[in-house]
């Protein structure tokens, strides 16, 4: 029997799996992504992880390779150009892997790959119109419309984390532009937004808040806000409510653009916190922004492996 190789290349971890042609993962491993070396350093790391895996499962024939990766991509060349979250100008994936495995290599955006994984292995199996949204260090979106996975000319379709949620915003996004969804609600930027809210709209709550010293000392992390909200800290609950508005406007942009029947949500923020603090505040405010009929919104059941499952699905059933 022949196999496929699936890769999830994130900003922190690279996950590699060998899967059978019917989609069963037979072996997988996760490592921290190398952050130095030449443009083929990550391809070499992937090969090394594969060689470690086959020491356990024995030699296999790899028919096809698919990678769900951080962007921005040049999908056809199979390279990543100037990724904001990894210290490489260029990451070359396709050519070195193709040469080593003598197999076709497909490189997709990670959230796009996740949407394909949801369609094949997750909650989207019976659905033709699906969006996957990851709320994590950054915010990413993958969309299937009429059963077709949307890719774009270079594979960078729907960079919705950079959708504008406030045109007159005080916040600059990591990409350098202003008012983007990610600039408010990504794991990296929640602390800045929280501090802003604590010093403007909710000043009177700051003194009594368990978040006060972290806000004042600039050591606040996104997880602190959720932890404080779980303890019913009034300031944290207000911040969660405002995040609900921002996320609702982001979700509404996705719903208004693509008209999905199901949205599944993943990423560390969604997976590691109670639904009441992530999804419910979005549902509370969605009607303020959305024009189309509101779809079902659920947390993905594929968890941290969703991009990897997407890569398995893409290797077996290429979306091109």
Which residues contribute to the site for Zn ion (CB under 5 A)?
162, 173, 175, 180
CB of 185 to Zn ion, least distance (A): 12
Q: Are 124 and 263 in contact (CB under 8 A)?
A: no
Minimum CB distance to Zn ion smaller for 4 or for 254: 254
If we measure between CA atoms, which residue out of 253, 262, 16, 309 comes closest to residue 139?
253
- Looking at the Cβ atoms of 54 and 175, the one nearer to Zn ion is 175
- CA gap 142, 161 in Å, rounded: 11
Q: How far apart are CB 183 and Zn ion at their closest, in Å? A: 6
Question: What are 79's strand-pairing partners?
Answer: 74, 92
User: Is the Cβ of residue 157 or residue 173 nearer to Zn ion in the bound state?
Assistant: 173
Q: Using CA atoms, how far apart are residues 114 and 124, in angstroms rounded to an integer?
A: 11
Closer Cβ to Zn ion, 64 or 180, answer by number: 180
- Shorter beta-carbon distance to Zn ion: residue 94 or 180: 180
Shortest Å distance, C-beta 191 to Zn ion: 17
- Residue number with CB closer to Zn ion (45 or 189): 189
Closest distance of CB 199 from Zn ion, Å: 23
Residue number closest to Zn ion, CB atom: 173
Burial letters 135-159, b for 16+ CB under 10 A, else e: bbbbbbbbbbeeeebbbeeebebbb
Report how far residue 127's alpha carbon sits from residue 8's, in angstroms, rounded to the nearest whole number: 24
Q: What is the CA radius of gyration of the chain?
A: 20
Q: At its nearest, how many Å lie between Zn ion and the CB of residue 134?
A: 15
By CB neighbour count within 10 A (0-12 exposed, 13-18 middle, 19+ buried), where does 28 fall? middle
Q: How far is the CB of 161 from Zn ion (least distance, A)?
A: 7
């Amino acid at each position: 029997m022949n196999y496929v190789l699936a890769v999830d290349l994130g900003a922190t971890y690279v996950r590699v799996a060998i899967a059978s042609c019917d989609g069963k993962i037979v072996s997988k491993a996760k490592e921290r992504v190398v952050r130095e070396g030449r443009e083929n350093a990550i391809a070499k790391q992937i090969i090394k992880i594969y060689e470690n895996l086959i020491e356990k499962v024995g030699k296999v024939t790899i028919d096809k390779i698919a990678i769900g990766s951080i962007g921005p991509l040049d999908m056809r060349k199979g390279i990543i150009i100037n990724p904001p979250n990894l210290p490489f100008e260029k990451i070359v994936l396709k050519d070195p892997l193709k040469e080593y495995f003598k197999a076709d290599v497909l490189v997709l955006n990670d959230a796009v790959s996740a949407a394909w994984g949801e369609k094949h292995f997750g909650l989207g199996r019976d659905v033709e119109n699906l969006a996957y949204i990851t709320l994590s260090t950054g915010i990413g979106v993958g969309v299937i419309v009429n059963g077709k996975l949307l890719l774009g000319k270079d594979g960078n379709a729907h960079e919705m984390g950079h959708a504008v949620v406030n045109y007159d915003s005080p916040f600059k996004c990591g990409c350098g532009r202003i008012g983007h969804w990610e600039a408010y609600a990504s794991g990296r930027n929640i602390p800045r937004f929280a501090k802003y809210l604590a010093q403007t709209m909710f000043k009177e709550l700051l003194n009594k808040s368990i978040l006060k010293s972290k806000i004042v000392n600039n050591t606040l992390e996104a997880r602190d806000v959720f932890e404080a909200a779980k303890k019913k800290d009034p300031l944290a609950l207000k911040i969660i409510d405002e995040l609900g508005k921002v996320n609702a406007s982001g979700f509404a942009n996705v719903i208004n653009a693509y008209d999905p029947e199901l949205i599944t949500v993943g990423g560390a923020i969604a997976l590691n916190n109670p639904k009441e603090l992530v999804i419910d505040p979005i549902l509370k405010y969605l009607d303020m922004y959305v024009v189309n009929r509101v779809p079902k919104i659920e947390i993905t059941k594929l968890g941290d492996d969703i991009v990897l499952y997407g890569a398995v699905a893409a290797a077996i059933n290429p979306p091109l």
